[in-house]
Amino acid sequence: MTYKTDEIWEDKWVNTTCGVCYCGCAARVRVVNGVPVKIEGISESTMGGTGSGLCGKGTAGLMYYHDPNRIKKPLRRTNPEKGIGVDPKWKEIEWEEALDEIATRMKKIMEDDPNKILFTNQTMRASDGPHNHPYFYAQAYGVKNNGNFIIGGGSLHCGNAAHMLGGLIHGAWSIAPDWRYTKYVLKWGSSKGTGSGHSAMTNARLRADAVRRGIHEVVFDPMGNFAGGKATEWVAILPGTDTAVGLAIANYILNTRGEIDELYLKAKTNFVYLIREDGTFIRDEKSDKPLVFDSKEGKIKEFDDKSIAYEDFALYGDYEYKGEKVRPCFMALKEHLKQFTPEWASEISTVPVGTILKVAKNWVDNAQIGSTITIEGKTFPYRPVSSVTFRGAQGHSNGIHQVAAIDLMSQLVGAEDVPGGTMGWPSKRRKYPGGQYERMPRIGKDGVLIPAVFYSHDPWPVHIPSVPCDNNGCVNFWTHCTLSHIPYVKERDYIHEKFGMGSKPEMIFGIAANFIISNSDWDVAVENFKDCFVVQNDLWVNETDQAIGDIILPDVSYLEKDCWSSEIDAFFFSGSPSNEDWYVHMQQPVAKPIGESRFFMDVYIDVAHRVGVLDKFNESLNNYYGITDEELKIKPGEYLNWKQIGERFMKWVYGDDKEKVEKQGFATWHKPIEDVYWRWNTESRCPVYMEFLIHDRRAVDKIIEDTGFELEMDLDQYTPMPSWFVPTSYKELDNEYDLLAFSYRDILHTNNTTFQNPYVDEVSKMCPYTFTITLNATLAKERGMKDGDIIWLENKYGIKENGIVKTMEAQSPKVVGISGQGGLWADGRPIAKGKGSNFCKLLPSYLRHYDPITGNIETAVAVKIYKD
Amino acid sequence: MPRWGMVIDVKRCIACWSCTIACKEEHFLPPGVFFNRVLIGETGKFPSSSKLIYPILCNHCSDAACVEACPTGATYVREDGIVAVDDEKCVGCRACLVSCPYQQRTYYDQKVKDREYFPGQGKTEMELIGEKLYPLKVGTVIKCNFCAERVDDGMKKGLKPGEDEDATPACANACPVNARIFGDLDDPDSEISRLIMEKKGKQLRKEFGTEPAVYYID
């Protein structure tokens, strides 16, 4: 067999960025006679796997271009009735008609109240591209803040607590082990390095090398599959109970073993800040700065007083300040942790006492407190232990405490952003040599890092909860939400009424979010959003579009996209978290847009122009990139499409190398070692003692009393130290609803879009777990269930879902596993239709099912299981 | 003359299926046809169970059962160890399908050729151009050929299989975690020879006696 070449007039490779998940790996595409035929990674770039490696779903990404089910013209609903199972009776319309109707409606709403417009965004790049721009695009319309966003993709299962702490501790969106130098890794409900999480293939490549080097990796997870199945040691744990084990380990480190990195705690955390008996900081009356005790001079001083050497900050002791008894908050932590014994944690989590103690001992033994390492001629503290979490552990109604407890063990041994420890993706983006665009974090109030970039909502400084609320998500009250949960909550209207939010949403505009089926109870989502006029830019008609969409605009896939900006601001979770240079990739079109599809950024610009807010958007773009060169700025009255904007802005970002960068499709420049391991080069302190939650609690109590708000919320979670709170799902367990269903990310799938990819579909069918419902083998036997049986899962509210049983040994006998967002039904995606089971619909959407602080949804649910 | 072989590092492998899908793209294989697959299972009992992942492909056996079974000489072992099928000689009797103990062969008939990735919606441009770029002959048996085209073309250009991607099988290039290493089994200094020696590489079901050229390390 040979390649036949006589009919080939074009055979080329085009460099771009993969768009199948949010990781943005380097990718190049072979194009023959204008047809994309193969995708692989780019050997010259560290964005992604080894050499030209790319994961399976990335390799399968070609099908986004070839799918005949892509919409090719704007669609308009003609059936005014909305809902699941209702035929929208689509009619193809012209772009002009679609955009005119959208703009006309928007203008009318804006005359009344722009906060009646909601924007959707999502977390993968098949359609998305410039991640951050949609947020300030919304601001051009007068939308005030992140409360008017609805997220698709991973929805509220993913992120709010992890991102909040990632921001506060690392100035980054996400965390990962420093695979290059670590020796002992704990993963909690996270598959970093084994296929999921940010920079998935970069991490997988680094992890594979680390595994070969001989690291020990312990995975705490309800199932031993993607992460646990590859770990040195998989430890079965019940969902949402990681806090208990984390606190028991912290107690061992601090109180049993007593080996901590005192210098780190004194220099890099707020544990030295003095607190009163009520737990609040004492502050200098004039400067409002928290106070500390200088043990050398025996004086109370401001925390950033340069006369105090790191070693002289007091972690212990009782002092007096203006007649009040005060002490470092570290003392409170030490006492607080004593209650969390391994026996207690074992009872809650099902993790054996011996395992907890063994892991705790190995953690301290491997931390090498006091050791240093010299890399590239620079010496750093060396702490080769890392504790990381993401979607699984943090996605609970106690999410903030889960993440804080998992972080605490790293804090105690100083293993944060130093070689071998837990890394936030570097919080800095230095200028490209010869370019102008740079983003550096700042040090904010109380010495806490303010990330250089953060999507939607800065985690610092914090804001006290207040009412009235002026946005759909009520983020005036729920101030720590990266994206708010309130739009999905069943009692949304009650909350709006009580908290004075008078703007009933009238329109939704955005990008391919499938928010009806990807968060929680579908019926609640339909009820909450069906009265809005819904416009989405999408590749297909997805479930949300079919249920409630009014106008669906055909978007380009990443293979047709010309997006100069796609990775520029992703440095704080994309690229390499380790000691590797900066890489920034562009999305370059490898084929012409399908049908009449248009890149959503160009549609956004067109709509902004029609509505009359384009100048505002352009001005915010100029400001965002910090452009001072008048020739490069977008001028008032100018209408440029995204590519034309890139022509100017690329000059600003890359200087004289603009053309070189465009030609090779990516830019790379050196990342100094101090920017990789930046912790000791930045004068910031981790707010591990979350004192702000005490003030939040007081404000929340007052608002609740003043407004007569009666919905159940676990307000005790507003407490400054990580503590154990029972996730809502456990409160719904009883003799009938006796199992906890949970979901997990399959390496083959990104939320639900990949279900429509026929390459992915056919290998999913060969994977035993992807399209099935997993049960522990012994549990299944007890229930009379076996592989291949169809079973039902039903929650306490009568919502049910069925699927095919696959038994496995490596799963806790108290849980039921479903791989994400299957169970799809949109007519516009026939490959996806009917595949797998949908977990999200089983999640109840009452306010009590959400983390009261960060807005994460409780991603476990009490269910009963039965056969037909 | 080298003898081409592959080491699969199951410790590195994360079962992402990239090898499987990249192979399909490389050879424009129709739905349901796989030269690479990943076997996933588990062993042991809760809570001490562990996951098993075995990416599999043609083992390019030096004492291949398929070669022995082939009545026309269509299936043969090349001098470099690659087990190939000459589709001019293959009569589609499928004796090799039955004889291969690793179930690595597929009979390519009109029905297989007519399959569409989007059933009932016609073949995509990619499927159509694939039939020209990598023509498969109806009525013959097809299988993994260690990307012999890449290896041969690469070597003609002076490239080294296993080191230069343009001379290396697509599945090895596609692996994001470097779990597939291609190279010369007869060269004691090659990376794969070293890995087999150091990590005690094992052939899959060695007892079949066909002398596979694919080794597994963990």
pLDDT in tens, A555-599: 999 999 999 987 787 777 888 988 999 999 999 999 999 999 999
**B22·A40 Cβ contact <8 A:** yes
With an 8 Å Cβ cutoff, is A468 touching chain B? no
Q: Position A651: which residue type?
A: K
pLDDT in tens, A316-338: 999 999 999 999 999 999 999 99
CATH class of the domain whose range is B4-217: alpha beta
CA distance B187 to chain A (A): 23
For chain B, the domains span: 4-217
DSSP state of A536: E
Find residue A543's DSSP bridge partners. none
Contacts of B121 in chain A (CB under 8 A): 68-69
Q: Which residues contact A431 (CB under 8 A, 6 or more apart)?
A: A437, A438
What fold characterizes domain A728-867? Barwin-like endoglucanases (2.40.40)
Compute the distance between CA of residue A108 and CA of residue A112 in angstroms, rounded to an integer: 7
Model confidence at A126, pLDDT cuts 50, 70, 90, reads very low
Backbone angles phi, psi at A162, to 5 degrees: -65, -40
**B129·A35 Cβ contact <8 A:** yes
DSSP state of A798: S
Backbone angles phi, psi at A374, to 5 degrees: -110, 120
Closest Cβ opposite residue B126 in set A41, A52, A62:
A62
How far is the CA of A87 from the CAs of A25, A91, A508, in angstroms? 38, 12, 20
Compute the distance between CA of residue A549 and CA of residue A91 in angstroms, rounded to an integer: 12
Backbone angles phi, psi at B67, to 5 degrees: -65, -45
Burial A770-793 (b: 16+ CB within 10 A, else e): bbbbbbbbebbeebebeeebebeb
Tokens of B198: 């150091």
What is the model's pTM? 0.97
Compute the distance between CA of residue A672 and CA of residue A678 in angstroms, rounded to an integer: 10
pLDDT at residue A456 in the model: 74
**A768·B117 Cβ contact <8 A:** no
pLDDT in tens, A64-99: 999 999 999 999 999 999 999 999 999 999 999 999
Neighbours of A5 (CB within 10 A): 9
Residue A147 has pLDDT above 90, yes or no: no
Neighbours of A322 (CB within 10 A): 8
Contacts of A235 in chain B (CB under 8 A): 47
pLDDT at residue A1 in the model: 38
pLDDT in tens, B147-179: 999 999 999 999 999 999 999 999 999 999 999
Nearest residue in chain B measured CA to CA from A38: B25
Tokens of A831: 């490959």
Predicted complex: ipTM over 0.85: yes
Q: Does residue A134 have a cis bond before it (omega within 30 degrees)?
A: no
Identify the residue whose tokens are 């004289």. Answer: A656
Nearest residue in chain B measured CA to CA from A778: B46
Closest Cβ opposite residue A59 in set B22, B51, B53:
B22
Burial A535-565 (b: 16+ CB within 10 A, else e): bbbbbbbbbbbbbbbbbbbbbbbbbbbbbbb
Burial class (CB in 10 A: 0-12, 13-18, 19+), A736: exposed
CA distance A51 to chain B (A): 7
Nearest residue in chain A measured CA to CA from B195: A212
With an 8 Å Cβ cutoff, is A83 touching chain B? no
CA distance A526 to chain B (A): 30
How far is the CA of A252 from the CAs of A314, A692, A789, B94, in angstroms? 22, 27, 45, 65
Which of residues 134 through 153 in chain B touch A, CB cutoff 8 A? 134-136, 145, 149
**A211·B11 Cβ contact <8 A:** yes
Q: Which of A763, A781, A819 to mutate to test the interface with B (most CBs of B within 10 A)?
A: A763
Strands (E), A352-490: 372-375, 378-381, 385-389, 422-424, 442-443, 449-450
Model confidence at A129, pLDDT cuts 50, 70, 90, reads low
Q: Position A849: which residue type?
A: H
- CA atoms lying within 13 Å on the CB side of residue A849: 27
* CA proximity to A431, closest of A654, A757, A659: A654
CA distance B92 to chain A (A): 16
CA distance B77 to chain A (A): 15
% of residues, chain A, pLDDT over 70: 98
Q: Which of A9, A11, A37 to mutate to test the interface with B (most CBs of B within 10 A)?
A: A37
Are residues A582 and A542 in contact, defined by beta-carbon separation less than 8 angstroms?
no
Compute the distance between CA of residue A843 and CA of residue A518 in angstroms, rounded to an integer: 10
**A1·B117 Cβ contact <8 A:** no
- Characterize the bridge pairing of strands A319-321 and A324-328: antiparallel
pLDDT at residue A127 in the model: 41
